[in-house]
Structure 1
């Protein structure tokens, strides 16, 4: 595997980011979104986040993954962040997700968030859950049938949080 760096995204990354994001959406087993992004909607979506980063292979300059960071709520709960992570399918299980989460924690702190919370981690997403638990996130419980899978059946979701 090539060396991976995590860096703030730029406009030139939008096509690759949309491709990776859409791959996860179309798989229908992790993200709640059902609509894919075009370059136009993707550009607006990523620009609306507090922070977005990409995982870039240093030699090839290919984008292997990304994350978005944004408030989980407003007002008196505005100090709680939320994030989503996406890794290109042929780059999974190379620890890129863990690099993305670690950088996200740093950026959340820099943006003055106090907590990073995940509302809807699908219970069967064991690789993500292992990363979160290894990095000190605490599972808040289980919401039975909280996620509708692409094939129409329902899976449990597990909210997680960690101070940043």
Structure 2
């Protein structure tokens, strides 16, 4: 799929190096994901590609500049709600890669029959992500006080964000 000049396609094992180049600095910073800062490459990639998620990459200028994984948030009676995670290469921030990935994630989720998408744990100090997800139609539907131990700010809130995929698109 092409979004604004960015090609988004399913990730393969050939993309592991590029995906790790994107995930490693994000995970090492410890500011946005509930992932151990010292996670190994193998464990990080196994997690990113783990079922029930499907991993994708965003390519532009013949480079992988972003990645996402999208899948079922919870099984059983909640299996109609998708979840997704996103990361952009540090060199590509502010260039619309995350916007293209979230648009793709929402389209893909709809095509798979999901009725909504939920982000379970958006760190409140990640202002760029909160703003981006709100622009993409997600509402803050919950706040988890002090749920994330940020390496610089201490205990900060985590947000639950939700988007209904059945009623049009924002």
The 2-side partners of 1:68 and 1:21 are apart by 12
1:100-141 Cα shifts (integer Å, max 9, x gaps):
000000111122211100011111111111111111111103
State the TM-score, normalizing by the size of structure 2: 0.85
TM superposition shift of 1:152: 7.3
Q: Given the alignment, which residue of 30, 42, 45 partners 1:42?
A: 45
Other structure's SS at 1:31 match: coil
Give the unaligned 5+ runs of structure 2: 166-170
Cross-structure match for 1:23: 25
On the 8 A contact 2:138/2:162 being kept in 1, the answer is yes
The 1-side partners of 2:71 and 2:40 are apart by 18
Cross-structure match for 1:32: 34
Aligned residue pairs, count? 161
The 2-side partners of 1:117 and 1:8 are apart by 21
TM superposition shift of 1:150: 2.8
More strand by share: 2
TM superposition shift of 1:153: 1.1
The 1-side partners of 2:43 and 2:116 are apart by 31
Give the unaligned 5+ runs of structure 1: none
Which shifted more, 119-128 or 34-43?
Answer: 34-43
The 1-side partners of 2:57 and 2:94 are apart by 17
Cross-structure match for 1:6: 8
The 1-side partners of 2:126 and 2:11 are apart by 26
Other structure's SS at 1:140 match: strand
